[in-house]
Amino acid sequence: MKVSTIPLIGRAENHADRTAIIACDGTFTYRQLLETSALVATGLLEGRDDLNEERVAFLTPRGFEYAAVQWGIWRAGGIAVPLCEIHPPSELQYVIQDSGATIVVGHPEFSSLLRSIAEDVGFRFALTSDLLFAKAGPLPKIATGRRAMILYTSGTTGKPKGVVSTHLNIQAQVNSLIQAWGWSGDDYILHVLPLHHIHGIINVLTCSLWAGAKCEILPRFDPLEVWQKFLERDLTLFMAVPTNYVKLIDAWEAAPPHRRRLLSETCRKLRLMVSGSAALPVSVLEKWRSIIGTTILERYGMTEIGMALSSPLYGEREPGYVGRELPGVEVRLVDETGDPVPPGIPGEIQIRGPTVFLEYWQRAEETRKSFSDGWFWTGDIGVVEKNNYRILGRKSTDIIKTGGYKVSALEIEELLRTHPAIEECAVVGVEDPEWGERVCAAVILQSQENLSLDELRTWGKKRLAPYKVPTRMLILDDFPRNPLGKVTKPAIRELFMRA
Ligand code: AMP
């Protein structure tokens, strides 16, 4: 059997008997992960030599099976396209179709859902339960420059785009974090983040498996369960989005005094707690520090670039700032023409280096427009103060960050316009202490029509991922517009803030 050259998988052989994953489906060693992923790979290959970058979408419960299938796809030479278990069928179908997946792997729990999509789209559907009982056969040698993964992310234009990273990109992203945050085989992390998003896939799961550490995956984020795990386990690391920290603080505050003391003491044993995917409000950082005694490390990153900036592992972490460049990442701030700006002057963040993605899947023009001289335009505005980066916000009001998820206002608007009661709509993100931003929809109704927020949400949940469905609605007679008649989104946001 040829040896795989994917470094992540090669390294696992050194940790064979250590625990890799603890989840609802059991406790598994690195050896079990290697053996099971080899079975998955052989089952996917069906006697062929190499999947040669065929896209394999997969939907499994959060646990060992997820990692075994992901590694199996990589070992067979495929591109892994993780699907999200809370997405409605229309979103799953979009990702499967856009990525051109030829195989979809699903846990039996999702079989009827995926089979019905297969009838419309046409792909080979493989049940995990069948793949796991295949026989291991020869596997291809995978060059690290090959495409490894496509993650779907929202942009300023309509539907989500597939961000393609190679094995080398993943390796660079992981190496950078392992070095910066001091990961080792002695680490034990609690995983509460989505497994179709870079934060959960790279920063938590893949870093942990690269380091030979232990990763305990919870079926979902539940603040009480997280606190209980902090108490019961010898965890060393925790990574979450700001909304998670807000909910953990709420649960701590609701606990009786003796339990609060216990929870605070327990938490101090963790060597590092990280927040990212959205701005961590200084008030949340300070509250956490006052109850736990730990200053959360804030980092800045993006699906396209991996992680770019981070507060230091050791030394002062300045509230409201995201620190400096991570190892191997080049960062600069530029004006609209692409010229670097000096410290103290805000500019758009540009990133360069091996962590930056290869391309948007099948969108050559969008890929080309996102780079200048090898620098990727992030669309985020930052400033350097006291040798420390501060994120000021996004260039576009059409990108909303809610609970750490990036959603496109335009995508939601396009869908809302298909609602029979809606004539026109404008979706904005409105600041919120718990969610960062809330998805809010201003609508103009067709004459004679009525619509309640509950009705809109019930309709929306069948068609959109739950976090994209508006949580507030305003019915207006007309929208605030500029002299050219274009809807002015800042004015709409104002209306929500005043309402
Ligand atoms: P995603 O690709 O879903 O991870 O979203 C990336 C976007 O999240 C970035 O472009 C930023 O707009 C935002 N983001 C990530 N980390 C931070 C942070 N620490 N502070 C502010 N915004 C952040």
306-310 and 297-302 beta bridge pairing: antiparallel
Q: Tell me, in angstroms, the distance from the centre of ligand 1 to residue 244's CA.
A: 15
Asked whether the predicted pLDDT for residue 1 surpasses 60, the reply is no
Name the pTM for this structure.
0.93
What per-residue confidence (pLDDT) applies to 4?
Answer: 54
103-106 and 124-127 beta bridge pairing: parallel
Band of residue 120 on the pLDDT scale cut at 50, 70, 90:
confident
Residue 179 lies in a domain: no
Q: What is the mean pLDDT of residues 404-409?
A: 93
What per-residue confidence (pLDDT) applies to 40?
Answer: 97
Task: Give the Cα separation of 466 and 202 in Å (integer).
Answer: 23
Ligand 1 pocket, residue 302 CB under 6 Å: yes
Ligand 1 pocket, residue 153 CB under 6 Å: yes
C-alpha 193, offset from chain centre:
8
What per-residue confidence (pLDDT) applies to 147?
Answer: 98
CATH number for 64: 3.40.50.980
Ligand 1 pocket, residue 300 CB under 6 Å: yes
Reported residue count of the chain is 499
Under a CB-based contact definition with an 8 Å cutoff, are residues 392 and 341 in contact?
no
Q: What is the mean pLDDT of residues 250-275?
A: 96
Q: What is the mean pLDDT of residues 36-57?
A: 97
Question: Which stretch of DSSP H or E encloses residue 119?
Answer: helix 111-121
Task: Give the Cα separation of 298 and 322 in Å (integer).
Answer: 5
Asked whether the predicted pLDDT for residue 492 surpasses 70, the reply is yes
Rg (CA), the chain: 23
For residue 394, give the ligand 1 atom closest to its CA: 12
Show which of 122, 142, 162 is a domain's final residue: 142
Residue 238 lies in a domain: no
Ligand 1 pocket, residue 402 CB under 6 Å: no
333-342 pLDDT, tens per residue?
999 999 999 9
Q: What is the mean pLDDT of residues 289-310?
A: 97
Q: What angle do CA 414, 416, 420 make, to 5 degrees?
A: 120
Q: Tell me, in angstroms, the distance from the centre of ligand 1 to residue 376's CA.
A: 15
Buried b (16+ CB within 10 A) or exposed e, 272-294: bbbbbbbbbbeebbebbeebbeb
Domain count, the chain: 2
Q: Mean pLDDT of all residues in the chain?
A: 95
What per-residue confidence (pLDDT) applies to 484?
Answer: 75
Ligand 1 pocket, residue 435 CB under 6 Å: no
375-385 and 371-372 beta bridge pairing: antiparallel
Q: Tell me, in angstroms, the distance from the centre of ligand 1 to residue 136's CA.
A: 41
Asked whether the predicted pLDDT for residue 156 surpasses 80, the reply is no
Asked whether the predicted pLDDT for residue 152 surpasses 60, the reply is yes
DSSP result, 447-469: TT----HHHHHHHHHTTS-GGGS
Task: Give the Cα separation of 33 and 8 in Å (integer).
Answer: 12
233-249 pLDDT, tens per residue?
999 999 999 999 999 99
What per-residue confidence (pLDDT) applies to 482?
Answer: 83
Asked whether the predicted pLDDT for residue 41 surpasses 70, the reply is yes
For residue 379, give the ligand 1 atom closest to its CA: 10
Task: Tell the residue nearest (CA) to atom 3 of ligand 1.
Answer: 406
Asked whether the predicted pLDDT for residue 466 surpasses 80, the reply is yes
Mutation choice for ligand 1 from 277, 392, 394, CB with most ligand atoms inside 8 A: 277
Band of residue 158 on the pLDDT scale cut at 50, 70, 90:
confident
Q: Tell me, in angstroms, the distance from the centre of ligand 1 to residue 41's CA.
A: 34
Asked whether the predicted pLDDT for residue 3 surpasses 50, the reply is no
Q: Which of 67, 13, 14 is nearest to 40 (CA)?
A: 67
Show which of 107, 142, 177 is a domain's final residue: 142
Residue 336 lies in a domain: no
- Dmax over CA atoms of the chain, in Å, equals 70
66-113 pLDDT, tens per residue?
999 999 999 999 999 999 999 999 999 999 999 999 999 999 999 999
Burial of 497 (0-12, 13-18, 19+ CB in 10 A): exposed
Q: Which domain holds residue 475?
A: 399-498
CATH number for 416: 3.30.300.30
What per-residue confidence (pLDDT) applies to 119?
Answer: 83
Residue 389 lies in a domain: no
Mutation choice for ligand 1 from 391, 405, 411, 437, CB with most ligand atoms inside 8 A: 391
Asked whether the predicted pLDDT for residue 131 surpasses 70, the reply is yes
Task: Tell the residue nearest (CA) to atom 21 of ligand 1.
Answer: 279
Ligand 1 pocket, residue 459 CB under 6 Å: no
Q: Tell me, in angstroms, the distance from the centre of ligand 1 to residue 3's CA.
A: 37
Residue 315 lies in a domain: no
Residue 326 lies in a domain: no
In what side-by-side order are the strands of the sheet with 359-360? 124-127, 103-106, 55-59, 79-82, 147-153, 161-166, 359-360
Asked whether the predicted pLDDT for residue 293 surpasses 60, the reply is yes
Residue 471 lies in a domain: yes
Show which of 93, 127, 142 is a domain's final residue: 142
94-103 pLDDT, tens per residue?
999 999 999 9
Mutation choice for ligand 1 from 285, 401, 467, CB with most ligand atoms inside 8 A: 401
Residue 424 lies in a domain: yes
Q: Tell me, in angstroms, the distance from the centre of ligand 1 to residue 299's CA.
A: 9
Ligand 1 pocket, residue 357 CB under 6 Å: no
Task: Give the ranges where 271-358 is alpha helix by DSSP (H).
Answer: 282-292
What per-residue confidence (pLDDT) applies to 237?
Answer: 98
Q: Which of 105, 117, 110 is nearest to 44 (CA)?
A: 105
Task: Tell the residue nearest (CA) to atom 20 of ligand 1.
Answer: 279
Task: Give the Cα separation of 454 and 380 in Å (integer).
Answer: 33
